[in-house]
Chains A and B, each alone.
Chain A
Amino acid sequence: MSTIPTVEIRNLNKTFGTGDNAVVALDNINLSIYQGEIFGIIGLSGAGKSTLVRCINLLEKPTSGRVLFEGVDITDFTDNQLRKVRQSIGMIFQSFNLLMQRNALDNVCFPLELVGMPRKEAKERVRELLKTVGLADKEKAYPAQLSGGQKQRVAIARALATNPKVLLCDEATSALDPTTTQSILALLKELNKKLGLTIIIITHEMKVIEQICNRVAIIANSRIEEIGTVDEVFRHPKTKAAKKLIFPKGEYVENISGDGKYLRLVFDGSSADRPIIANMVLKCGAPVSIVYANTKNIDGQVFGHMIIKLQDDDEIYRKITTYLEMENITYSEEKDYV
């Protein structure tokens, strides 16, 4: 990691409309994204994530705040200056946005035409790019003849044509089936490794973040609620917004009725195969009920979490928590999200 972030966002605000109709889309966003990272931004629809990614290449002008690219403040750049910067920031979209009247080769040629590269030279570069994304044999095909995954590959090749430093992905896999999503993510990871490409991924899908991101920001209600490494945020989500996203199957309960305490236990790869719960019940002599359990595979490690309900008894609570600490199990008491 270099010291200057590739993309830095400072105190960014974006409001649509004015007066009574004003809608706040982004509320004081601060982000630093470094060279070579795959950075995920996750949130539910309407959280403001698409607006945020459009503020990075200034397709959307922020209401206030600064956007820095490689340490240079580009917020107030003129249109001409911005066009130069945008050649260093590739972008792909949920709906691919290919030129429907051009074939694959000419689609990828498009950004090179914009920079005035001679046709012959451009064609060579495009063939190379199509090979990189695995579509060497499809250069004559029009978008209408390609599958969703192939269209996104063309879009990726097009975004990479001008050798950008950053690739912005706006829900790039949301329109694809799971298998195709996997292959596109694998391609992005490969490009990240091979070219040192910084990738910023906007998504509402947890599995996309799990699979390829290094760091993640959780955005809800126009604000960044939580930010950290994927591992950290997934294991110990601190905010309600994060928990809602990471444990989507759980139920949100305003007031947990009845007696009893709810504990969320988080397992890492090392403990998941030991009979933790059974031993706990035996050792502490306290019955517990399992309210919810789920495990996931992240970066090759099995990790899981479970919610158990205990009797409302301080003695039992103390015993159980002591046991959990001994076993190195992270736990947290849950008040409203089960």
Chain B
Amino acid sequence: MFSEGMLLLVGKGFLETLYMTIVSTIMAYIIGLPVGMLLAVTDKEGIRPSPTINRIVGGIVNVLRSVPFIILLVAVMPITRLITGTTLGSSATVVPLVIAAAPFVARLVESSAKEVDRGVIEASLSMGASTMEVVCKVMLPEAKPSLIVGAAIATTTILSYSAMSGFVGGGGLGNIAINYGYYRSQTDIMLVMVAILVLIVQVIQEIGNFISNKCDKRIR
């Protein structure tokens, strides 16, 4: 069932999927990490409570998170074209992926940051740490194991979003599954694509858990 051409196509799709997932995850974290920390810090139980900032930023995050990805994918097409010059292919998919994933990442980061023991933060404040020092030297390092598990979750979510983008010509394994599996009713190809995606999710999740456990000094 798999000709040489088909194998090449799948190989290319696999790489495209990896490319979209990795680049989108990194960019989602570049935006989501600071936003998540901002949410944790400005929370009313945080070290710099600011209801106004927290409500505004939290509101934007909630709005973006409640838009279904398939709709966001289409809605942001003008922005996508503005940035990448096209709305087709894997690079173009990165734009809606980042817009959808960054708020999700922000919430993940926020919840990890809030898990950090309040007492430890208080102790560092008592030693004269500034807000920035508490964030960089206490909250982030102390939350590291939880942040890594969160990153694995974010990566797998972005991976499944990237497959969805196949519907609008996004490239990658999702695109193959839709074009060959769905439109041409080649069920076997669809199943293989799904199996590969399942495998990638498993691998990412396992790696995440492994690194998280490895770096967590609380376990021993």
Listed in ascending order, the chain A residues whose CB lies under 8 Å from chain B are 57, 59, 79, 82-87, 89-91, 93, 95, 97-103, 110-111, 113-115, 142-145, 155, 158-159, 162, 168
Contact = CB atoms under 8 A, between A and B. Distances in A.
A97 B123 contact: yes
Contact of B137 (A110, A142, A158): A110
B217 A110 contact: no
7 contacts: A99-B138, A100-B117, A101-B216, A103-B217, A111-B127, A111-B128, A143-B218
Contacts of B126: 57, 59, 86, 89-91, 168
B127 A162 contact: yes
Contact of A93 (B123, B137, B216, B217): B123
Nearest to B124: A110
A278 to B, nearest CB: 54
Given A99-B142, A100-B142, A144 B128 contact: no
Contacts of A79: 130
Interface in B122-160: 122-130, 133, 137-138, 141-142, 144-145
| Max chain B C-beta neighbours (<10 A), residue from A87, A100, A159 | A100
Interface in B47-64: none
A68 to B, nearest CB: 18
Contacts of B83: none
B144 to A, nearest CB: 6
Interface of B: 117, 119-120, 122-130, 133, 137-138, 141-142, 144-145, 215-220
A142 B220 contact: yes
Contacts of A158: 127
Nearest to B120: A97
B143 to A, nearest CB: 9
Nearest to A164: B127
Contacts, number: 84
Contacts of A111: 127-128
Nearest to A91: B126
Nearest to A144: B218
Contacts of B120: 97-100
Contacts of A98: 120, 123
DSSP majority for the B interface?
A: helix
Given A79-B130, A142-B217, A97 B141 contact: no
Contacts of B142: 99-101
Nearest to A86: B128
B199 to A, nearest CB: 32
A101 B217 contact: yes
A59 B220 contact: no
B117 A59 contact: no
| Max chain B C-beta neighbours (<10 A), residue from A144, A155, A162 | A144
Contact of A83 (B117, B129, B218): B129
Nearest to B217: A142
Contacts of B128: 82-87, 111, 114-115, 162
A79 B130 CA distance: 8
Contacts of A93: 119, 122-123
A83 B128 CA distance: 4
A48 to B, nearest CB: 17
Given A83-B130, A110-B137, A114-B133, A100 B217 contact: yes
Contacts of A85: 128
A142 B216 CA distance: 10
A114 B123 CA distance: 13
